[in-house]
Structure 1
Amino acid sequence: MPIAQKIRGLWQETKHFCRTFNLFPSIPPAANDYDLQNQRISTRVYLTLLTIVLIILLIYNSIETITETITVKTPSLNEYLHLYSKYPQSLTCPCTDISIEYEKFVEVQYSFHQVCTSDFVSEQWINYLSSFPANVTLTVDDFRWTSSHSFQTLRAFCDLIAKALSDGLDRFYASEFLSEFVIPFQLFQSQIQALSDQFALKTQKTFVSSLSLVRNTI
């Protein structure tokens, strides 16, 4: 038998099988063509839906992300930064110590007004202003009449500022930064900046309160 005829015969058998394939035959077998046709249609619908479901499951499994937890014990800073650059959303790094004092990693730099660091508030300058010959008579409108007391008051204000800042820094450095996990560097920077701004504002308020107390006392 020629190969072409064999292929044609196999094709006809396949077509006949597909047309007559029935997964839901009735018992006893259907006695009319209508019931038999319904059973074959149900078979085709079932196989079609089953194929669609299998394709969906196959696609889902192929694109599903498989989560794998990898633990790196005591990583160095460079290792942590490398891992964070690759897995910024999923990386977690628990801290050995959940609290650390600000003085361990924060340094507040400040500078006083030039007047508070000048010779105008020095003891030598104040003594010089208050020392003049006994035979010299000063009038009220003479600068030398009140200059000594004015610069003493200015020095007292500078000392008050220095003390308020020193006390504030002691409290600030003694405070603790709390975190159970290592936080992203950008978030850490923003939190430290917020703490520094809060410290500066609180120090200003403390000095203003002290100044008001001095004014009320005088």
Structure 2
Amino acid sequence: MISNPLNEVKISPSSKTMVSAACSHLIHGIRELNLFSNNPFWTSTLTHTEQIHSTRLFLILTSISLLSVIGYVSLTVHSYEVTRNKFSISDFERLQARYPTTFKSTCTKVSIPYNKFLNVSVRFHQVCSSPFIGRKWISSLYLFNATSYNILDFRTFGFSHYRSLRLLCLLTRQAINDNYHAFNSTNLVALLTFSRAQFNNLAGVLMSNFQKNLLANEKRTAKVTSLMIAQNRLLSALRTNYYTHSKPGSQSYKTYNAHYLERNGIDGSFCDCRSRNNQCTYPAGGFYNWTLPELGKPAKNNPPPQFQKKKKFIQSFIVKR
């Protein structure tokens, strides 16, 4: 290094040569960097140039991996646990909305009956609380000679129909009470607290299952009753869809299925209950002038049925038999 009168520092040619030589040596060392062993025992099948290229690729991939790990560690969110023994519903919903994945709230009671958080109220049809299913009204419809009327006459089946309606209402009340008791005896088991949306979904599923179980039990009861009647061959003395004809003093019996005229149909057309799965319908009324029907033939409706009470006509209604 040489000093001049102007106090300027200049690098001598020998120093420049040393720096240049060091840089050249460093660059050459980087270019010729080879991590493969020179031991003859570990001699690689790669050429010297291929070993240098493999070393460069290894160092580049290693650097990228280290940078990725360092970046991931630096960007990772460190979480810590905070426990609160008591909080309000508003605090619960606020914390759950703020920390949807990490917030957890355990229940103080793991098991709780359904009736503690759900109130099931049942509303029956008005007819089940009306006088039409009362004993007084049903008894007033009883006629000892009911089978002597036309099959379409309301007096033939009014007593039995209202008794069946009363029985249906009683069975429905009993079925609902049984399901209500079973529902209240069942407990919900949960370790973690539900959110408002989860609770609403759970309540909807529970009520849907309650209704489905109720209908399934009702259908099962009706099916068992129908099978008992069919298998025991219980026949009604009333003019129902099936009736048995016999001659006094003989041992021969013949069963006929009922036929009804088609509603608003052409003359002579009729509905066979057996082929229509007992779904034939026809207006019922009061027949005061009628002739005995022929077996296997539809009942006649001439003259038309009329109900009369206090000089006012009551409209006929449809009765499924």
- Check whether TM > 0.5: yes
Residue 38 of structure 1: which of 29, 32, 39 is its match?
A: 29
- SS of the residue aligned with 2:188? strand
Listed as ranges, the matches of 1:193-212 within 5 Å are 193-212=204-223
Distance 1:154 1:118 in 2: 11
- What is the correspondence of 1:51-90 to structure 2 with a 5 Å cutoff? 55-90=67-102
Does the alignment pair 1:116 with 2:151? Answer: no
Pairing 1:100-139 to 2, within 5 Å after superposition: 100-130=112-142, 139=148
Residues 203, 48 of structure 1: CA spacing in aligned structure 2 closer, same or farther, 3 A cutoff? closer
CA distance in structure 2 between the aligned counterparts of 1:3 and 1:151, rounded to whole angstroms: 129
Map 1:150-169 to 2 at 5 A.
Answer: 150-169=161-180
Q: State the alpha-carbon separation in 2 of the partners of residues 76 and 197 from structure 1.
A: 30
Aligned to 2:203: 192
Provide the TM-score with structure 2 as the length reference: 0.50
User: 1:19/1:174 Cα in 2 relative to 1: closer, same or farther (>3 Å)?
Assistant: same
> In proportion to residue count, which structure has more helix?
1
Give the whole-Å Cα distance in 2 for the aligned partners of 1:103 and 1:181. 19
The answer for the alignment partner of 2:107 in structure 1 is 95
CA 1:124/1:16 → structure 2, altered by over 3 Å: closer, same or farther? farther
Q: Which residue of 2 aligns with 1:140?
A: 149
Shift of 1:110: 2.8
C-alpha separation in 1, matches of 2:102 and 2:68: 28
Write out per-residue CA displacement over residues 143-170 of structure 1, whole angstroms, 9 at most, x where no aligned residue: 3354233212210111001100110011
- The one-letter amino acid of 1:116's match is C
CA distance in 1, matches of 2:117, 2:60: 66
Aligned to 2:318: none
1:3 CA displacement: 9.3
Separation in 1 of the partners of 2:107 and 2:21? 68
TM-score by length of 1: 0.71
Between the aligned residues of both structures, percent identity stands at: 23
Q: Contact 2:127–2:133 (CA<8 Å) still a contact in 1?
A: yes
1:172 aligns with 2:183: yes
Q: Quote the offset at 1:50 in angstroms.
A: 8.9
The match for 1:9 is none
Q: Is the CA contact 1:95–1:182 (under 8 Å) kept in the aligned structure 2?
A: yes
> Using a 3 Å threshold, how does the CA distance of structure 1 residues 184 and 41 change in structure 2: closer, same or farther?
farther
The secondary structure found in structure 2 opposite 1:192 is helix
Aligned counterpart, 1:19 = 23
Q: Tell me what 1:28 maps to.
A: none
Q: 1:185-213 CA deviation, whole Å, 9 max, x = no partner?
A: 32332232222212211111111222233
- Contact kept, 8 Å, 1:126 with 1:151, in 2: the verdict is yes
Residue type at the aligned position of 1:123:
R
- The structure that has the greater radius of gyration is 2
**Which structure dedicates a bigger proportion of its chain to strand?**
2
Distance 1:39 1:123 in 2: 110
Local SS of the residue matching 1:168: helix
Gaps of 5+ in 2: 11-15, 34-55, 235-321
